[in-house]
Amino acid sequence: MATSKFEAVAQAKCPKCRRGKIFLGPVYSFKGQKMNEHCPNCGMKYEVEPGYFYAAMYVSYALNVAEIVTTAMLTYYLSGGSENPMLYIGTIFTVIFLLAPFNYRYSRVILLHWLSPKVKYNSEYDK
């Protein structure tokens, strides 16, 4: 059964075969996140070229901006339009801190799946 691209991204699976895991452990753990060097299923090397994952910083930045804007708007509406800057700063920094592991993982996954012209899905692995 074929895995959809959305499922592969949500589960952090290999963009080539959509079977092998990109990361070894869970998103949140005290050991940190360890990324596989190659796909355990198809053998694809995840770092397509040297320094490849530096581009993930831009994806992470976009995720952070979206989270900050959303958090600020929710804080505004839920606080009844509070003008206390410390409320916004505290809320935003808390959200940034809590979502940092998520952003680290999914910025790399998004880069591999959607922003890499060299990485193509191979349906041969579905058989």
pLDDT along the chain (127 residues), means of 10: 86 92 91 91 89 91 97 95 92 96 94 85 78
This prediction has a pTM of 0.86
The secondary structure of 21-62, three-state, reads: ECECCCCCCCCCCCECCECCCCCCECCCCCCHHHHHHHHHHH
Question: What is the extent of the structural domain holding 49?
Answer: 5-126
| Domain total of the chain | 1
